Amino acid sequence: MNLDDLTARIVASYRGSGGINHIGGRSLPARAAIARVLHEIEELCFPGFLAEEHLTDATLAPVTRARVERLAQALTEQVALDLAFQQERAPDEVRADATALVGAMLQGIPELRAALSLDVAALLEGDPAARAKEEIILAYPGLRAVVVHRVAHRLWTAGARLVARMMSEDVHGRTGIDIHPGATIGKSFYIDHGTGVVIGETTLIGDHVKIYQGVSLGALSVSRRLQDQRRHPTIEDHVTIYAGATILGGGTVVGHHSVVGGNVWLVQSVPPYSVVEHEATVRVGSRRRDGGGEFDPSI
């Protein structure tokens, strides 16, 4: 392989396919840095669970202070790059705004922990496979996705939208759960298993909602002209949505205390206390004893 020739061809492709390059432009937030920020946030939210050091009453305050300082510096740097890119300014010119934005987010850590304690309690109460809160914090992808969403949503609403999207995609890659940071989610939120869950940007979810794997809360249209409109459904309080259900449309409201069954396709509103089921015909038969493949319903 001729490395000089290959390098020249690759560089030439950069000039010919400029739409997917970012050369000589403003610096952008970094994926690796965002991943480190999320790890620091998770350690702040769940002290003693995720870090290797053993925390005691004597070490808790200094360790927490050092963690907050690291997080503030790292997140401020990424948010400054985000704001500078959006506003077409230099990072130094938006540093004060980034510092204020991150400071406000960090001031909300105690309230964030209170919300997460309710999410953990909802999982512990609702999942018979869960043995203890420690298991949920260490091993449940649904909780991890909710932790990141509650942080990313705060950054999204404050204006750090690229960083928020990068956070949501980081946890999407680790859990298979895709929650847009623009979605609004109430307290005591429960995602069980979680793989394949998709929650769109303008979704509104109330309190005490349970969602299982493969659920999609999406839009009826993906046209860009609807970008600034409500496109995703509203899920009111105490709703359970079982695996594989798809609920679409900005005008679709699932009334409180409703149950949406597995594999349901729903594009219209349903009143409170509804039970929405998918009708399916399932036949159970037996294979021929001689190894043939014909279906015999008479069992």
Domain boundaries, the chain: 25-176, 183-288
CB 57 within 8 A of CB 138: no
Residue 129 pLDDT more than 80? yes
- Alpha carbon of 53 to those of 37, 49, 64, 107: distances in Å? 18, 10, 12, 24
Residue 73 pLDDT more than 70? yes
Structure confidence at residue 12 as a pLDDT band (50, 70, 90): confident
Q: If you average pLDDT over residues 80-105, what whole number do you get?
A: 95
- Asked: is 183-288 a CATH 2.60.40.420 domain? The reply is no
Residue 27 pLDDT more than 90? no
| pLDDT on residue 169 | 97
- Alpha carbon of 144 to those of 176, 207, 234: distances in Å? 11, 18, 23
Query: What's the CATH fold of domain 25-176?
Result: serine acetyltransferase, domain 1 (1.10.3130)
Residue 18 pLDDT more than 70? no
- Say if strands 190-191 and 216-218 run parallel, antiparallel, or are unpaired: unpaired
| pLDDT on residue 55 | 85
Residue 24 pLDDT more than 90? no
CA dihedral 271, 275, 279, 281 (to 10 degrees): 180
Of 14-18, 100-104, 212-216, least confident by mean pLDDT is 14-18
Q: If you average pLDDT over residues 199-209, what whole number do you get?
A: 97
CB 264 within 8 A of CB 243: no
Sheet order of strands, 198-199 included? 178-179, 198-199, 216-218, 246-248, 265-266
Residue 292 pLDDT more than 60? no
